[in-house]
Structures are given as C-alpha cells and as structure tokens.
Amino acid sequence: CFCQVTGDLDDCACDVETIDDFNNNRLFPKLQRLLESDYFRFYKVNLNKPCPFWTTTSHCGLRDCAVKPCSPNEVPEGVRASSHNKYSAAANEHQTDCEQENRLGAVNVSLSNETREALLSWNRHDDEAERFCVVDDEESPDSQYVDLLLNPERFTGYRGAEAWQIWNSIYEENCFKPFTIKRPLIPNVLHSSAGNDAKIFHSWLEGQCVEIRAFYRLISGLHASINIHLSARYLLDDSWFQKKWGHNVTEFQKRFDADLTAGEGPKRLRNLYFLYLIELRALAKALPFFQRSSFQLYTGKVEEDQKHKGMMLDILQLARSFPLHFDETSLFAGDEKEAAKLKEDVRLAFLNISRIMDCVGCFKCRLWGKLQTQGLGTSLKILFSGRQIEALPMSDIQGPAFQLSRQEIVSLFNAFGRISTSIRELQNFRELLAEEQ
Ligand code: FAD
C-alpha cells in the first residue's frame, strides 16, 4: 500500500516492520555519520526574510527559539567558496567569467576543459521552473551559515494561535487555491467533536484525486516528524543550574495515541512512513547525479571530501536496494494535459508552503521548517526529473539537463535525516511505553 498511492490510503495495512528494520539497523547509523561532516552540517539560510502573507508575525522571543549563526571563520573556506547560488539568474548576471572560473576552481581544480565548460554552462542555467520550493538567495547579506549540529531541532515551546495559523495555512495549500472548500482544514484533536471533524475531513480527502491525497500525506508526515522530535528532545528540566532534554512519553502519547487523538495519531504516523518512502525513493533516483566523477562534496579537505563522497554513495546504493519503493509513476498519470496542470498546481502550492516558512515566529522552528520543506521540494524535483537524471552521463559533456545546488543537496540529506531520526525515535518511544506497562 505504500508503494501504490491508490485506493483507500488510510485503511491499508502497512509494512512498517520492513521499513523500521531497514532504517533503524542499516540506514540511520550511516546517515547520522554523514550528516556530521562539514559539507552537510553547514547550511546557508536567510532567517530574516519578511513573511509575504501577513504582517502580524512576531518573533516569539522564547530562549530556545534562538539560532546561533556561524562566524565566517567557523565555516570551512571551501564550503564558503563553492556554495554560491549557481543557478540564480540574477547572481549569474553579476558574475564575470573570471569570478565563475574561480568558483569552479574551488569545486575541482583538476577538471578537464570539457567538464569545466559544461559546469560553466550549468552555472548559467536557471532551473527555476523545475523547483518545488523557494530557494534563499545565498548572496543576500541576510543569508548566514548555521551549524545544524549546534542548533538541533527540539522542543522550543513555540505553540498557540500563531503556530496553529501556520499549520492551517500550510494545510490550506492542499486546496489548490482559488478553490475554497468548506470543511475543517485539519481534524482538531483537541476539539470536543474531534471524531466528527476527522470523519468529515477524511471523507473529503478520500473524494480527492490521488495527487491531492499524497500531497496531504506529505505535509501531515512532516508535521508528525516535527512533533515527534519535540517530544523526543523535550525540555525535561529547566532549573537554573541545568537544562535537560529527553523523551517525554506523555507528550508523545498526547499527540499520537489512538484513544487520545480519536484515531488520528496512528494515521499521522503512517503519513510519516509515507514521507519516508517518498524521500528514500528520491535519494535512490538521484544516484546517477552524485556518481558522476565531476561531482564533489567540496569543503577544501580533499581526503575527507573523498571519504564522505564514498559514504554518501554507499547510502544512496543502500536506498536503491530497498525492496518496497514508492512508485511515483502512479502520480500525474492521467490525461497528459490535465496531469501537467495538476503537477504545476502541486508545484505552486508547494512553493507557497516554502514561503509560509518565513512567517514562522520561532527562529529555530523556522530554520528546520525551511530546511525540511526545501529538502522535500528537492525530493519532488528529483522524483519528477527521472528522465533528465538518467540522461546525465551524456549531459556532463553536452550541457545542462539536471542540477542541484549545494543548498538543495544539504537540505535533501538533512531533511531525510530528520525523517529517518523520527522513525528511529518511534522505536525508542515503543520501548519506553513497554517499560511503563
Ligand atoms: P499542532 O501540532 O500545532 O497542530 C495543529 C492542528 O493540526 C491540530 O488540530 C492537530 O490536531 C493537527 N495536527 C497535528 N499533527 C498533525 C499531523 N501530523 N497531520 C495532520 N494534522 C495534524 N515546536 C517545537 O517545540 N520545536 C520545533 O522545532 C517546532 N517546529 C515547528 C515548525 C513549524 C513549521 C511549525 C508551524 C511549528 C513548529 N513547532 C515546533 C510547533 C509545533 O509543531 C506545534 O505547533 C506546537 O507544539 C503546538 O502543538 P499543538 O498540540 O497545539 O498542535
């Protein structure tokens, strides 16, 4: 049921055990090690973009929402040199060929002339039309590097009307405006008629086409992942002499227990697995892109970079070997014209979701929200660029066909790292719950 998004999405039996075993015992440990490397830990992001949708966004001021950006000397020189937003048309206009050469030099000093020429033309290519996500302009003075290991996703205390407004707006994108549908946007588990809300909502959802249902499940999976993280790294002790973070089983139960959530919790966890499979599939499909010899995980430390590329390829091969892959050909498969229109609607709705992230009042939540929507957007871009990726060995010489910026690559792997960690955390919660009984 995971592999084909057809039929009644929420009632099907899911092969959770296979995914748990694959993720927890094989993929998760490898991925964690890779994400500690310099290439993946430094993410450039603009956390100061104004919210484009409403003007009342306040910065929550909670201590645990603060993000500590890196000072320039903390970021390896190679990362800084190679991280320019190569595909932004505006950035390219202001670049002289010489500047481009210098940057490419930072990517790989030993490239052949042919490959260098191909890379130069990639630089000029603008792939805006294929993006599912708004990408921050890395050249903006407001964009800063953040060390993701020093700013972990965890409980921040961000909640209440503002957080709900964000989630509501995100789910609202599922309606593909301008159509407005009168129904509860998200089943409210705190509401006394939670069961009713949920029923109305799910019967509406079941009436939608497969793409809209898949879209909802992705968002719901992301929401579930964020809420698992805040329950797994909850602020347990906030006394003046120590801060202790750890698992809060009660918080987890409140959000996911079937009885406490009128049956919604388990559905949300299944959506998390669904999201996992989508991102896993994207990684598997991206293998040819990362396998090319011209692709480098460049930080300036040659031996480490080679080692990390090897680790990355190992993870991608593992992703390819997974037996229950999601079949994305079941999406956008109908009448060609209608399918293209629907795909564009989904893409635009997803672009809007990435914009909504600039309205999140808690900086820590905004950082991880932006990274995870960008990572998911990159996964979708990969999933629907299959033909271009398969054609890559040729295009290496002939010109641009498919490309990913450093920012997209870092978000792709880190976003998947979050989902993979959530699945691992579910096992921890299961064990903690078993101990309590
Ligand atoms: P919420 O989680 O706010 O849910 C709002 C509504 O959505 C409810 O009706 C609920 O029933 C429904 N809902 C909940 N989960 C799902 C789901 N999986 N699928 C469908 N519907 C659902 N807090 C932190 O402590 N740390 C963070 O890093 C963090 N990051 C965030 C990032 C973003 C982008 C946003 C918008 C919020 C973030 N938050 C974070 C806040 C957190 O997600 C909750 O909003 C907050 O804890 C309040 O929870 P709640 O119980 O009121 O319900």
pLDDT tens-digit readout, 365-418: 999 999 999 999 999 999 888 777 877 765 555 555 788 999 999 999 999 999
Helix (H) or strand (E) holding 238: strand 234-239
Q: Tell me how far apart the 2 most distant CA atoms of the chain are, in Å.
A: 68
Q: Annotated binding residue at 202? A: no
| The predicted structure's pLDDT at residue 112 | 44
The string of DSSP codes covering 375-407 is: HHHHHHHHHTTHHHHHTHHHHHHH--S----HH
Does the pLDDT of residue 324 top 90, yes or no?
no
Atom of ligand 1 nearest to the CA of 157: 25
Rounded mean pLDDT, 305-323: 95
- Pocket lining: 226 vs ligand 1, CB cutoff 6 Å: yes
Q: Annotated binding residue at 308? A: no
Of the candidates 426, 372, 328, 406, the one whose C-alpha atom is nearest the C-alpha of residue 138 is 406
Active site residue 365: yes
The model carries a pTM of 0.86
User: 42 φ, ψ to 5°?
Assistant: -100, 120
- Pocket lining: 388 vs ligand 1, CB cutoff 6 Å: no
DSSP state of 142: T
Among the ranges given (132-141, 178-187, 289-298, 422-431), the one the predictor scored with the smallest mean pLDDT: 178-187
Q: If you measure from the C-alpha of residue 167 to the centroid of ligand 1, how many angstroms do you get, rounded to a whole number?
A: 7
- Per the CB < 8 A criterion, the answer to whether 224 and 271 are in contact is yes
* Residue type present at position 224: A
Span 91-111, pLDDT tens digits = 333 333 333 433 433 333 334
Q: What is the mean pLDDT of the chain?
A: 80
Helix (H) or strand (E) holding 172: helix 161-172
Span 259-291, pLDDT tens digits = 888 888 988 998 999 899 999 999 999 999 999
Which residues lie closer than 8 Å to 418 by C-beta, 6 or more apart?
153, 225, 229, 368, 372, 375
User: 146 φ, ψ to 5°?
Assistant: -125, 135
* Residue type present at position 142: D
Tell how far CA 247 is from the center of its chain. 23
Q: Which of 133, 151, 167, 238 to mutate to test the pocket of ligand 1 (most atoms within 8 A of CB)?
A: 167
The number of residues making up the chain comes to 437
| The predicted structure's pLDDT at residue 121 | 45
Rounded mean pLDDT, 114-132: 53
- Pocket lining: 360 vs ligand 1, CB cutoff 6 Å: yes
The residue behind tokens 């890196």 is 70
- Pocket lining: 167 vs ligand 1, CB cutoff 6 Å: yes
Cα separation, 325 vs 386, whole angstroms: 15
Q: How many CB atoms lie within 10 A of CB 34?
A: 19
Task: Strands of 119-176 (E only): list them.
Answer: 143-147
Closest Cα to atom 53, ligand 1: which residue?
164
Structure tokens at 173: 């994108």
Give the pLDDT band (50/70/90) at residue 249.
very high
Does the pLDDT of residue 60 top 60, yes or no?
yes
Q: Annotated binding residue at 122? A: no
Cα separation, 212 vs 96, whole angstroms: 44
